Structure 1
Amino acid sequence: MAVTTPTTSRQAKPLVIRHRRQARRRRRSATLTALTAIMLVYTLLPLAWLLINATKTQEGLFNSFGLWFADDFALFGNIADTFTYDGGIFTRWLLNTVLYVVVGAGGATLLATVAGYGLAKYDFPGKKAVFAVVIGAVAVPGTALAVPTFLMFSNLGLTNTPWAIIIPSLITPFGLYLMWTYAADAVPLEILESARVDGAGEFRTFFRISLPLLAPGIVTVLLFSVVATWNNYFLPLIMLKDPDWYPLTLGLDSWNDQASTAGGEAIFNLVITGSLLTIVPLIVAFLLLQRYWQSGLAAGSVKE
């Protein structure tokens, strides 16, 4: 008959506790894996539906299961028809969207970077008031400002022009706040003081020293601005009447509305294919710029 001594009992307790912790960790890991799998399916299922149905003809969309391919593979034909339909207007919409993104989102990123850096590293009277205004602007939804913006641009005679989309896109309160908070920690004051002692001017200090340190934050603001401008729908809807200035979002919506218009042609296959082509540049942008995010996340993880 085995006799359990107090020493043996004390040695067994840590093993039992360790076993219980490992069991709880495995249960948490399984729960986390299940939740991640659900989110993955929720995210990828619409993309899969879009890709699968972009390979179908107009008839195939209604004669086959939505999450599986039809008998005819028409992806390349749909792409060709998308770019040639209605005199190639899709290409014009694509170029318009690129214009709005390059000038609008690029300008918004530049302004947010310069203003956020200045607010983070310089003291001036009224700085707290500016902070309150920025926070308040972040809380105001863009749709609430759409009608006042339309009335203002209408009085200026800028509606139905590219400026009606570009100028409002230059203002990004969230991007300004993000760069403000990021620059406050990413650029140490000691480095700026050293540069000033060495005789470097403020512009040289900003472009040679501060700008590389701000790169992850700049990329983050740029991606947010690009996505917001690329997917912008409501502002072009109220600002633009000429289809030649439509972005992709408004142009594809007009194609979709043709089916419900008297005498209109239903081209759902081109709408789906155009939607697929619309998200490709965003995916490419994220894949090309993700390494800047990774470097920014790792920048503060090592202490010297």
Structure 2
Amino acid sequence: MSTTSSIARPTSVSPSVPADGAGAPPTRRRRRSPGGGIGATFGVNGLLVLGSAYMVLPLLWLVFATTKDASALYGSDAFTWGGAFFANLERLLTEDDGIFLRWLGNSVLYAAVGAIVGGFVALMAGYAFDKFQFRGKGALYGAVLIGVLIPNTATVIPLYLLAASLGVTNTMWAVLIPAFCNPFSVYLARVFSAGYLPDETLEAARVDGAGPIRSFFSVGLPMLVPGFVTIALFQFVAVWNNFMLPLIMLQDRQLFPTSVGIFLWQSQVQQNPEYLPLVIAGSFLSVVPLVIAFVMLQRFWRSGLSAGSVK
């Protein structure tokens, strides 16, 4: 009788995996890029390119248009060079006995005085709102924030009525005095004061015997110089581009800034197309002081905008 003996073969034993998968080996997951993928990158960069083109193309067109005469402006492509650049500048500077140079000087005066004096007034107000405690502080600062929300064009007529009651219309003071008080500059000044000037520094100055005024001029003002430059730059651009206020306040052509003077020439283009090169050349020269101001003060401006970003 033969018996069949079976030999047990070794079999691979797989570890038991619980039903909930707690002991399962980790699986690799595909990592996603932090930006959300290629589509998001192209979308963001595309928006940046469109925004840059929106800001740069008008300036580029202005540069090309300054080199053309009246016939070339209407009959040539937008981004082609002309040969009348120096002729347009010469005519611009000699038109009406050089009235454009007077307008340019007025703009520089209005913007520079408004930026320096208005920036200093805003810096003192923002410092007071940040460091001092006084009755009605919240209500006054709320009024400043409301003033930020009101557009400048809505205040032109009330300012004109106030200037007329004081008898300062058709004078430089009618343009300069409103530039000394800017609610947005006061708001920025308080932000800069909170970011640049620690309370401990002022407390140490008071312990050494410095009063509030000396603490501001000896300690606070030197530390707030980048913020002051930033506020002054914003003030300079705002006053330089101001159009409605001097248009309402001034009647004497000798007191016009470039914005109102160029508008005066623009209103005559339909009757005399030869004024169009003057308008374009004047617009080109009116941009140059702004570029110079930003290039010269760029270092302070960058540090001012980054106030409070690094603690």
Partner of 1:37: 49
Aligned amino acid, residue 143 of structure 1: T
SS in 2 for 1:17: coil
TM-score for the superposition, normalised by structure 1: 0.88
Aligned match for 1:226, one of 221, 236, 241: 236
- The answer to which of 135-144 and 85-94 deviates more is 135-144
CA distance in 2, matches of 1:121, 1:22: 41
Structure 2 portions without partners, runs of 5+: 1-14, 18-23
Q: Retained in 1: the 8 A contact 2:119–2:185?
A: yes
CA contact (8 A) 1:103 1:166 kept: yes
Cα pair distance change 1:298/1:258, threshold 3 Å = closer
2: distance between equivalents of 1:111 and 1:23?
44
Q: What is the deviation of 1:216?
A: 2.8
In structure 1, which of residues 17, 21, 35 is the aligned counterpart of residue 30 of structure 2?
Answer: 17
Deviates more, 1:103-112 or 1:39-48: 103-112
The structural deviation recorded for 1:270 is 1.3
- What displacement does 1:61 show? 1.0
Corresponding residue SS for 1:110: helix
Partner of 1:266: 274
- Report % sequence identity: 42
Structure 2 counterpart of 1:245, from 252, 255, 260:
255
| 8 A contact 2:197–2:224 mirrored in 1 | yes
CA RMSD in angstroms, aligned pairs only: 2.3
Comparing 190-199 and 132-141, the one that deviates more: 132-141
Alignment deviations for residues 42-81 of structure 1 (CA, whole Å, 9 cap, x no partner): 11110011000000112211121122223xx121221121
Per the alignment, residue 129 of structure 1 pairs with 139
Structure 1 residue 189: Cα displacement:
0.8
| Residue 26 of structure 1 pairs with residue 38 of structure 2 | yes
C-alpha distance in structure 1 between counterparts of 2:167 and 2:310, whole Å: 54
User: Given the superposition, is the C-alpha separation of residues 299 and 144 from structure 1 closer, same or farther in structure 2, using an over 3 Å criterion?
Assistant: closer
Can you list the C-alpha shifts for 1:75-110, whole angstroms capped at 9, x where unaligned? 122112111111000000011111111222221111
Deviation at 1:158, TM superposition (A): 1.1
The answer to whether the Cα contact below 8 Å between 2:66 and 2:284 also exists between their aligned partners in 1 is yes
* 8 Å Cα contact 2:195/2:308 also seen in 1: no
Map 1:44-193 onto structure 2 (within 5 A): 44-70=56-82, 73-193=83-203
* 8 Å Cα contact 2:35-2:41 kept in structure 1: no
The alignment covers a number of residue pairs equal to 292
Partners of 2:198 and 2:187 in 1: CA distance: 18
Q: Which residue of 2 aligns with 1:284?
A: 292
8 Å CA contact 1:94, 1:248 repeated in 2: yes
Query: Is the contact made by 1:256 and 1:266 (CA closer than 8 Å) also made in structure 2?
Result: no
- C-alpha change, 1:100 and 1:46, in structure 2 (3 Å) is same
Note the residue ranges of structure 1 that are not aligned, 5 or more in a row: none
Q: Quote the offset at 1:34 in angstroms.
A: 1.2
Conserved? CA contact 1:93–1:244, under 8 Å: yes
Q: CA deviation at 1:17?
A: 2.4
Alpha-carbon distance, 1:150 to partner:
1.1
Once the two structures are TM-superposed, the CA of residue 22 in structure 1 deviates from its matched residue by 6.3
Q: Distance in 1 between matches of 2:290 and 2:195?
A: 29
Per the alignment, residue 293 of structure 1 pairs with 301
Structure possessing the higher radius of gyration over alpha carbons: 2
Q: C-alpha separation between the residues in 1 aligned to 2:301 and 2:30?
A: 39
Relative to structure 1, the CA distance from residue 40 to residue 193 in structure 2 (aligned partners, 3 Å threshold; closer, same or farther) is same
Residues in 2 aligned to 1:51 and 1:208: alpha-carbon distance in whole angstroms: 46
Contact 2:122 2:185 in 1 (8 A): yes
Q: Could you tell me whether the CA contact under 8 Å between 2:123 and 2:186 is conserved in 1?
A: yes
